[in-house]
Chains A and B, each alone.
Chain A
Amino acid sequence: QLQLQESGPGLVKPSETLSLTCTVSGGSISSSSYYWGWIRQPPGKGLEWIGSIYYSGSTYYNTSLKSRVTISLDTSKNQFSLKLSSVTAADTAVFYCARIFGDTYYFDYWGQGILVTVSS
């Protein structure tokens, strides 16, 4: 059974860089059938796709965040990571990592989510 688990600091200061890692177990992130992505959800609000990465390293970012986002892969650890720079209070959210089924691009497996608060 595929499992995804987010990890990283729960508190980040304004203007700093938020860094999260998603560890995948029960499957390989090197599969050509899937993409891997990040989604966020501010408290009490809806879902926003942040970006995705393919096993080849190709990345796709939401245009609203593109200048601040970097997603990368570490195939040796079966992990992928998110960096979001210059954060503000508006970036406070639950961050989810997810697997994306390649043909129809739906999120079929999700991590449990991690709350990241931006505050001094």
Chain B
Amino acid sequence: DIQMTQSPSSLSASVGDRVTITCRASQSISKYLNWYQQKPGKAPKVLIYAASNLQSGVPSRFSGSGSGTDFTLTISSLQPEDFATYYCQQSYSRPFTFGPGTKVDIK
């Protein structure tokens, strides 16, 4: 199975900050990396698919990059509604696996 790690596990930031979250795969997954946002009590919501493609309806302040084993999710200017937990997920091979999550809260 492909193991996914994320860093940091949590971070505190202010509205307007630029935030970067890193995801690493235990082996190359090409560009088969997706990012989700989850708020408490809600289902995850896809933000980025195939490493860098913005899902329809997602604000352009979210962006993704990377390939192979190292990926990043960037929020260019953090908004109040962005405080949530973010998960990466590899879809290169089954079993599909998720990272442990990065919780973004208010500084």
Contacts and interface: CB of A to CB of B under 8 A. Distances in A.
Contacts of A111: 43
Nearest to B94: A60
A21 to B, nearest CB: 17
Interface string B38-72: 00001111100110000100000000000000000
A37 to B, nearest CB: 8
Contacts of A108: 46, 49, 55
Interface residues of B, number: 23
Contacts of B96: 49, 105
Given A104-B32, A104-B49, A108-B55, A63 B95 contact: yes
Nearest to A98: B43
Contacts of A98: 43
Interface in B1-58: 1, 32, 34, 36, 42-46, 49-50, 55
Given A46-B101, A96-B43, A104 B95 contact: no
Contacts, number: 55
A46 B91 contact: no
Contacts of A64: 95
Given A60-B94, A105-B32, A46 B50 contact: no
A104 B45 contact: no
A26 to B, nearest CB: 15
Contact of B36 (A49, A107, A112): A107
Given A62-B94, A104-B49, A106-B89, 11 more contacts: A46-B100, A49-B95, A49-B97, A49-B98, A52-B94, A104-B32, A104-B50, A104-B91, A106-B34, A106-B46, A107-B44
8 contacts: A49-B97, A104-B49, A105-B32, A107-B34, A108-B46, A110-B43, A110-B45, A112-B43
Interface of A: 46-49, 52, 60, 62-64, 96, 98, 101, 104-108, 110-113
